[in-house]
Each structure stands twice: as C-alpha cells, then as structure tokens.
Amino acid sequence: MLKKFTIGVALASVITTSAYAEKKETAKEFVERIQQESLELSKETAAAAWVRATYITPDTAILASKARERSLAFQAKAFEQAKRYKDAKTDPVTARAIELMLRGSSAPAPNNPALQAQLAQTLTDMAGQYGAGTYCDDSGNCRQLQELEAVLAKSRDYDELLDVWKGWRTVSPAYRSTYQQFVAAANQGAKDSGFKDLADAWKSNYDMSPEAFTKEADRLWNQVKPFYNELQCHVRAKLNEEYGDERVPLDQPIPAHLLGNMWSQTWDNLYPLLEPHKGVASLDVTAALKEQGYDELKMTQTAEAFFTSLGLPSLPDSFYKNSMIKKPADRDVVCHASAWDLGNGSDPRIKQCVEITENQFGTLHHELGHIYYYLMYKDQPRVFKGGAHDGFHEAIGDTIQLSMTQSYLKEKGLIKEIIKSPEATLNQQMKLALEKIAFLPFGKMIDEWRWKVFSGEIAPEDYNKGWWELRTQYQGIRAPVERSEKDFDAGAKYHIPGNTPYTRYFLSFIMQFQFHKALCETAGFTGPLHECSIYNNKAAGKALGDMLAMGQSKPWPDAMQALTGQREMDASAIIDYFAPLNSWLKEQNKDRQCGW
C-alpha cells in the first residue's frame, strides 16, 4: 500500500532533450512549442523507464539512464528559457503554464552536463538495485521483498520477524554513497533553477511559499496527532501483552519489526491482535476472493467497475494489453505498484505484482484512481496534465477505497451479510485506523528527513541517526537492534532510491476523508460517514469527474472548492469518520501511561 508514483503528470518531470528554436517567441508561442516537443520526445523516456522497471537488466539500465539524461538536459534548457517569461504580460492560461514550468521538479537538472549524466545514472542505479534486492539467510534461503513482506504480515515469532527485518536492510547500504552523489547533483540542479536547495524546490509545488507550506503540513499533522497518540498507546499495550515487558516496555517506543509491515508504515496486519470484539463482523475478503476464483485480471476489472458505476469511462483496451499486473516468473521487475501515463493519455497502464489479497484489491483501486485522473484530464493542454497538487493524485483511489463498505462488498458477493452494531463498527474502524491513522506520521516524516538531508541539517555521516530520531519523534517506534552509519535504513523504502516525494501521501490521507465526506453529501447520504459508499452514484461520479478534468489548470484551492466547497485542506473529516473508535481508545487508555 502506498508504494506508488506516477509517470507523466508534470511537464518538468517527463520532457526530454530537444533543439530549441532560436527565433524570438511570445510567451504563448514558447509554451505551445515546448508542449509539442515534449509530447513527442517524452515517448522515448517513458518507454525506456517502463522497460527498465519491467525488465531489470544491464542493457535496460543503459537505455533508461541515457533517456533520463536527455530528459534532464531538456528540462534545464526549458527552465532557463521559461524564466524569460516569468513576468511577461500574457493571457491567464499561458501565465499559469509558465508558472508550472518554473516549479521545482523532484530532481532538477544541473546546468553542468557532467552532473546531468551523474544525476541520471544515480537515479537509474538506485532504483534498479532496489528492485533486484534479495536477502539470503544463513541457510541459503534467498527471498525478495514480496516474500519477506509476507513473513512480517503473518508471523508473530519475534526472532523470525527480526531476521526478516534486518535482512531486507542488507540491500540498501550498497547505494548509500550513490544516494549522497544524487543529493549533491540534485541540490546543484535546484540551485541552478533558483531554489535554495532541493527541499525548497519540493516545497514550492503547492501554490504557496515553501515556508507557508511547511506551516500548513505542521497544522494538518497537529489536527490528527492526538488521535494517533491514542492509537499508538493502545497498540503498544497489546504488543506488550503478546511479547512481554522485556521486548515491548510500556515506557518506550515500539520495536519497529513487530508492526506487521516492513517499514512500520501501516499496522493493519496486526488486526487479529487488536480486534476490539473477537469474531464480530469478521470480513475475510481475502478468503472470499480466493474461494470465488479471482485472479489478477478479475480483481483489476472489478476495481474498474467501481469507477464505471460512477459514470466514468471504461478503460481503453490498451490498458489491459500493456499493463503488468502479474509478477513475471522469468525476470527481475520493480514490483512496487505504480500508475503510468504513456501516450499522452492514450496508453495509461499500471505496474503491480498483484496477489489475491484484500490489501492488493484495495491497491488496485488506488492505482486506478491515478489512471482515471489521467483519462479525465486527457484533453487538457500537456502542461496542465497533473493533479491539482501531487496529494490530489494520490487521494483519488483511496477516496474510492473508503466506499468499499460492507454494502459494497455484499453487492460484489465478497461478504454474505451486512452486520450493524456498535461492536461491528469498532472492529471495522480499528482495522481501517491501523492502515489510515497509523500511516500519517510515517507519511510526514520521510520528507522531513529528506528536507533535512537536502538542506544539510542532516549530514551524510548522520543519515541513519537522523532517520531514527525522526521515526521515534513522529511514530513512537525504535530500531529493534543497534543501527550504525554503515546502515542506510532510509534507503530500504522504495521512495528514497526511487526519489518520489512522499508528503503527497500524507496530504492524500488527509484529503481522502475530506473528499469522501463531500462526495457522500453530493450523493445524498445522511447516515454516519463511515457507512457511506458512493458506489453506483452518478451525481457523486460527475462531481468527482469534473474536478479530475481540471488537472492542474487552476491552483489547487480552486479544485478543492469545486469538489468540497472548501479552499483549504482539513483533517476534521478524519475525526468525524473515526469518532466511535477515538472515544473507545480514550476509554481503553485512561489508566495507561501513554507517550514515549
């Protein structure tokens, strides 16, 4: 879950090298030329990136690196030329296009060609090493990430969990020095583009100043932090009952390997230990999927059917022809689920090693959220093809997931009956909170770490120290064994070597509840928010589709207002949604020592 990135959602991140016209151009002519050139030239870079992700070989590494290098060179030139039009008097559409072109990309190209080549090579190398990562234990049993994740999800053996947790983290030290090279080159690119550093560039992408955005992210976190603290306290107490005082002391952060996930980012695999009322409304969707013969294709088609029930279009035939929805048996691939916008909206596809599980079923809905964003803004000028901000893109599929209620699952035949009771509600909310609420501090701290790395506040010799300080500060967890600067634990998470900004996920987990509440109101739903599903509601679908079709043609507050009537991000819908569980947790924790 939440292992995604998108290809082609922002002009600066996909354009490739091109010869520039020497003639003087108006701002409008410049924008039109850049869009046309990038449309043609991005076909090469997108194809090279796709092949690299789905066929990890030395040959595809060369092709992807060279294509990325040309992309960075074009990006640098385009940025330099766009600066000439920063204050030009022109029409609003062109002015918006220039503004977007001058924003920071995830890896701004340095002006120096040698550094451009180095930046392209480091990004290609790190992503490839991560994708091919394998841990071989003392008995010679070699496993890749998916197999290791399965152990963390199911086992409750302390030592087995520790072995797997440590094992995956033997992969990332190999590219720690490469990451340092990336930081230096990308920081230089950011400075060449007029930013203080790469952190400043990343935070400039939200229609507000970097300083204002930092405060906004803190404001949103402080809205949800008290609820998270209640959840963390209860989870620690239950793990203490399972493992004892020596392994899970009640006055210390939680050991990171015990939370059912390789990165402790979501805790829903611990649900059997944390179910408030044993056996009440037990929804074993995974078993139902397997019993009913679901395979990768049927799961994907079922996810598509949710979107079409809203009145949104069917996926093009090319989607099923070109997507990778099953892990190949004959080669290394990057299994990390992702959505891709190839062919300027005519060839959208996903890459996901689908397994027949409830979690993967939800991930498919998330990925198709990206795909439907691509389809709905397909007719926008290229420069406007992107989410209103990157958090919007991540929030859409997860908003749909909030509608995967008991009523929806019964409609699909994945549960036999709908069970409504206070006990059933608490169980369902606990299961969801272990995914959604547990994630929030993790979603915020990853970029907190990178911002500090990019700015120099965390020096290269303190990468691991800084990483664990933030993990403890935000999540209340700790490394289960001593770690040193020989390790590179941040790099064990895909988005670090893959260089995908992560604050988008934090924002999306805030906004999806805000979106859900607004769509439920549009659908005419009047009951408790956690019982609402917009499945098959055309009015909600039109409201969603209209917002998606805006792309990034307007500042994000305009898109937010179009869907919700509000002009700011707001976490109050989360507190509303989880009100029953929040009250229950406070009661459970009243005699406990919470905090860390």
Nearest alpha carbon to residue 24 among 76, 75, 88: 88
The answer to whether 575 and 528 have CB atoms below 8 angstroms apart is no
Q: What is the pLDDT of residues 300-340, one digit of tens each?
A: 999 999 999 999 999 999 999 999 999 998 898 888 899 99
> Quick one: average pLDDT of 71-90?
85
For residue 232, what pLDDT is reported?
A: 98
Q: Which SS3 state, helix, strand or coil, does residue 20 take?
A: coil
Indicate if 367 belongs to the active site. yes
Beta bridge partners of 477: 254
Exposure string of 139-167, with b = 16+ CB inside 10 Å and e = fewer, is eeeebbbeebbebbeeeeebeebbbbbbb
Which of 73-82, 224-233, 498-507, 546-555 is the least confident region? Answer: 73-82
Residue from 37, 149, 367, 448 carrying the catalytic annotation: 367
Q: What is the pLDDT of residues 123-166, one digit of tens each?
A: 989 988 998 899 999 888 999 998 999 999 999 999 999 999 99
Q: What is the pLDDT of residues 441-495, one digit of tens each?
A: 999 999 999 999 999 999 999 999 999 999 999 999 999 999 999 999 999 999 9
The full DSSP string for 23-89 is S---HHHHHHHHHHHHHHHHHHHHHHHHHHHHS-SHHHHHHHHHHHHHHHHHHHHHHHHHGGGTT--
Structure-token pair, residue 305: 């059917």
The arrangement of strands across the sheet holding 347-351 comes to 6-7, 338-342, 347-351
For residue 346, pLDDT beyond 60: yes
For residue 438, what pLDDT is reported?
A: 98
For residue 70, pLDDT beyond 70: yes
Residue indicated by tokens 């999306």: 508
Residue from 234, 370, 495, 516 carrying the catalytic annotation: 495
The full DSSP string for 277-314 is STTTT---HHHHHHHTT--HHHHHHHHHHHHHHTTPPP
The full DSSP string for 136-186 is E-TT--EEEHHHHHHHHHH---HHHHHHHHHHHTTTGGGGHHHHHHHHHHH
pLDDT category at 282 given cuts 50, 70, 90 is confident
What does pLDDT average to over the chain? 91
Indicate if 365 belongs to the active site. no
For residue 3, what pLDDT is reported?
A: 40
Q: Which SS3 state, helix, strand or coil, does residue 263 take?
A: coil
For residue 8, pLDDT beyond 50: no
Positive or negative torsion for Cα 213, 217, 218, 219? positive
Contacts of 134 (CB under 8 A, 6+ apart): 142, 143, 144, 171
- Separation between Cα atoms, residue 149 and residue 161, nearest integer Å: 10
Contacts of 580 (CB under 8 A, 6+ apart): 422, 425, 426, 429, 530
Instruction: Give the C-alpha distances (Å, rounded to integers) separating 272 from 126, 139, 154, 582, 586.
Output: 36, 31, 10, 19, 20
Domain coordinates of the chain in residue numbers?
282-418+502-565
The pTM (predicted TM-score) of the whole model is 0.88
> Quick one: average pLDDT of 6-30?
54
For residue 23, what pLDDT is reported?
A: 57
For residue 35, what pLDDT is reported?
A: 87
CA angle 122, 123, 126 (to 5 degrees): 80
Structure-token pair, residue 82: 């766009």
